Amino acid sequence: MSSRVNRRVTLRDIAEATNVSVMTVSNVVNGKSQFVSSATRQKVDAAIKKLKYVPSATSRKLRSSQEFSIGMIIMDEAPVFLADPFIGQLVAGLSNHLSTNNYSLTVQGVRPESFQRASLFSVAGTDALCAILCGPKAERRKNVDFMLGRHQPVVIFQDSLDIKASGIAIVNQDDEKGGYEITSHVISRGAKKLLFVRPLVQWPAIEKRLKGVKKAIARKKGVTLEILKCEESTFEKTQEALAEYLAVTKVPDAILGGTDAMAIAAMRYCQDQGYKVPEDIMVTGFNGFSASSYSTPSLTTIVSPAYEMGQLAGQLILDRLRTGRFSARKTLLPVSFKQGGSA
Amino acid sequence: MSSRVNRRVTLRDIAEATNVSVMTVSNVVNGKSQFVSSATRQKVDAAIKKLKYVPSATSRKLRSSQEFSIGMIIMDEAPVFLADPFIGQLVAGLSNHLSTNNYSLTVQGVRPESFQRASLFSVAGTDALCAILCGPKAERRKNVDFMLGRHQPVVIFQDSLDIKASGIAIVNQDDEKGGYEITSHVISRGAKKLLFVRPLVQWPAIEKRLKGVKKAIARKKGVTLEILKCEESTFEKTQEALAEYLAVTKVPDAILGGTDAMAIAAMRYCQDQGYKVPEDIMVTGFNGFSASSYSTPSLTTIVSPAYEMGQLAGQLILDRLRTGRFSARKTLLPVSFKQGGSA
């Protein structure tokens, strides 16, 4: 008697509308599409969209033995994706928050070109998906759409995409403000010729940092910016790129590292060439994890709340699974300035 | 007609022997014990032991939708367990090998006292378990027995336990040889008074390193060793412990860091006190990841094959799931000496 408007759309409704079994619909919804033909899957997907089916955490748990698990996928060119301290801290924060609430975390690193073939999407039974994406905007949007097509809530980190779908939340730190602050700092100490050292690959967070750098420069007459792209953000590749650059260009007053690792590689190279840091060249980093204290002088940098971002994402996801909606679609966590000896 | 000896023991055999349903046996075998009463579980466990039931990867896959997943549990006092570069690299190697073979990896960090309550054991559907354990030998053995009781293959890293059970494999790097080599190096450069700086918590790998250190010292007359335990292996705690030590003791000729992070913290402290490294004090590390190049001078250290250990474990597990036995029960990967400027 109750009209469809007044009650939640169920798997059974989808099954009836598409003339397939409830189990088949369940397989599609739970991402076990290896058991379903592509034609059937498209039919079910269309019905899900039309009837506005929203997976409910409670009914998923009663129905499926694959619950209590969140997937985290990290798009990276480097196979040692977890060795990046930013990723390591973020994943630890996420994992710990989920563990405390009896959820497990499945992690996978994947090269950009293999993203949609990641086994996490086909074999792991997850309730929700998290991701850090890189690459051009259009590519990232395609990959977000792909994740949303798994009919699971999605949280992405450090991304600038503007997405209308209610199934996604974005957790960012204020990279732009960080870039602005650290640049204003070196300008206030007299730097006029700045060099921003960045990885070649398009990380949205790096673009935001650069946006902040440019904003600070625009506010002060006579300050110039050059940008040096390094093929990889490893110690050696950063030093090679800098060596090539300095072979043909006058040394800058300040080198702004896209990350702490790149900053310290640049600093060590300049010191090896006989320059004094910060007297001859200032150097700044970005992230502020413990290794930023390893160099002499220690790094002036922007501290990232990476662990907190992971925790927050865990909280958003669990709330979403419980209530059916994200309590916040976009979150921007503050960064903080850390004075070291390098600038 | 076939006698039990000639065929594989199945879930049905266990169910018949214990007078419970096959589903109940399956729940016990697959670690879904939250669905099974404790008395029933004990009965089933006893029958599994008596009938020598070995879970088969193939039948698990046909029977359960929870397969293709390996669990990795990291016992650590520190919540940011993944920020340790050793752990990060190891987990990346494991995850990448599993991904390539369409297995996913579920990771969880857990404090020592909460190990057996880790949600990974109760909620995640895994085919095999990996772990890094710390603490006293008896405790580690208890926790290994607990994992073996999940009726899944187990791989542990960096452990010295001597375990007879065929369901477990141990993957180590040659920490003892690393400790021996780096100590012989500083002795050959004239160091007589050595200080080994280590975390308070008992990591089997640290004990092995120390064993190697002592072996090298025993070979040379007139060389002495003191050991400084730091409450935590963070930068600040290491420096605090060293400050207290040096307030009452003559500076050593060489400081041997249990890890790179501890070594660099010690080096920076000594430099801040006006000592020259390596002229006044030599300093060495252990692990050799990229951050060992951040200091000035760069660290003389032992390079750990952490990524390779993770990969190897993945290979061992997948072989075990396919063939029913481990191709190697104990593996010892070589470490290598890396000459830096600090010793």
If you average pLDDT over residues A71-87, what whole number do you get?
Answer: 88
Please name the member of B80, B84, B105 whose beta carbon is closest to the beta carbon of A106. Answer: B105
pLDDT at B64 over 80: no
Is B58 among the domain residues? Answer: no
Q: Are residues B295 and B183 in the same domain?
A: yes
Is B62 among the domain residues? Answer: no
pLDDT at A17 over 50: yes
Q: Judging by DSSP bridges, how do beta strands B254-257 and B282-284 pair with one another?
A: parallel
Cβ separation A296–B291 shorter than 8 A: no
Q: Which amino acid, residue A253?
A: D
Tokens representing residue A97 in the block: 């928050």
Q: Are residues B138 and B194 in the same domain?
A: no
pLDDT at A254 over 80: yes
CA–CA min distance A185, chain B (Å): 23
Q: Are residues A272 and A324 in the same domain?
A: no
Q: Are residues B315 and B230 in the same domain?
A: no
A307 chain-B contacts, CB cut-off 8 A: 79-80
Task: Please report how many Cα atoms fall inside a 13 Å half-sphere around the Cα of residue A43, on the Cβ side.
Answer: 15
Other beta carbons within 10 Å of B3 = 6
Q: Are residues A18 and A127 in the same domain?
A: no
Q: Are residues A252 and A287 in the same domain?
A: yes
Is A341 among the domain residues? Answer: no
Q: What's the CA gap between A12 and B171, in Å, rounded?
A: 49
Cβ separation A124–B69 shorter than 8 A: yes
- According to the model, what pLDDT value does residue A60 have? 41
Please name the member of A68, A89, A234 whose beta carbon is closest to the beta carbon of B80. Answer: A89
Is A342 among the domain residues? Answer: no
Is B291 among the domain residues? Answer: yes
Q: Are residues A265 and A283 in the same domain?
A: yes
Q: Which of B154, B104, B102, B156 is nearest to B309 (CA)?
A: B156
Is A337 among the domain residues? Answer: no
If you average pLDDT over residues A214-238, what whole number do you get?
Answer: 94
Residue B199, domain CATH: 3.40.50.2300
Q: What's the CA gap between B31 and B128, in Å, rounded?
A: 11
B33: pLDDT confidence band, cut at 50, 70 and 90?
Answer: low
What tens digit of pLDDT does each residue of B80-102 get?
A: 888 888 999 999 999 999 998 98
Residue B38, domain CATH: 1.10.260.40
Q: State the best of B119, B233, B289 to mutate against chain A, taking most chain A CBs within 10 Å.
A: B119
Query: Going along chain B, which residue ranges are E strands?
Result: 69-75, 104-110, 128-132, 154-157, 168-173, 193-199, 224-230, 254-257, 282-284, 301-303, 330-333, 336-338
Q: What's the CA gap between B272 and B322, in Å, rounded?
A: 56
pLDDT at B296 over 70: yes
Q: Are residues B213 and B99 in the same domain?
A: no
CA–CA min distance A297, chain B (Å): 9
CA–CA min distance B156, chain A (Å): 19
Q: What's the CA gap between B298 and B282, in Å, rounded?
A: 12
Tell me the DSSP string of A196-235. EEEESS--HHHHHHHHHHHHHHHTSTT-EEEEEEESS-SH
B71 chain-A contacts, CB cut-off 8 A: 104
Q: Are residues B310 and B165 in the same domain?
A: yes
Locate the chain B residue with the closest alpha carbon to A109. Answer: B96
Q: What's the CA gap between A104 and B88, in Å, rounded?
A: 18
Please name the member of B87, B119, B295 whose beta carbon is closest to the beta carbon of A295. Answer: B295
Q: What's the CA gap between B343 and B255, in Å, rounded?
A: 9
If you average pLDDT over residues B265-282, what whole number do you get?
Answer: 97
**Domain range holding B235?**
175-303
Q: State the best of B80, B103, B237 to mutate against chain A, taking most chain A CBs within 10 Å.
A: B80
Is B17 among the domain residues? Answer: yes
Q: Are residues B75 and B47 in the same domain?
A: no
Number of domains in chain B: 3
Looking at A12, A28, A53, the residue that finishes a domain is A53
Tokens representing residue A235 in the block: 């110690």
CA–CA min distance B4, chain A (Å): 32
Q: Which amino acid, residue A28?
A: V
Q: Are residues B143 and B204 in the same domain?
A: no
A83: pLDDT confidence band, cut at 50, 70 and 90?
Answer: confident
Residue A220 sits at φ, ψ, to 5 deg, of -130, 120
- According to the model, what pLDDT value does residue B89 have? 93
A122 chain-B contacts, CB cut-off 8 A: 102
Is B59 among the domain residues? Answer: no
B291 chain-A contacts, CB cut-off 8 A: 291, 294
Q: Are residues B187 and B299 in the same domain?
A: yes
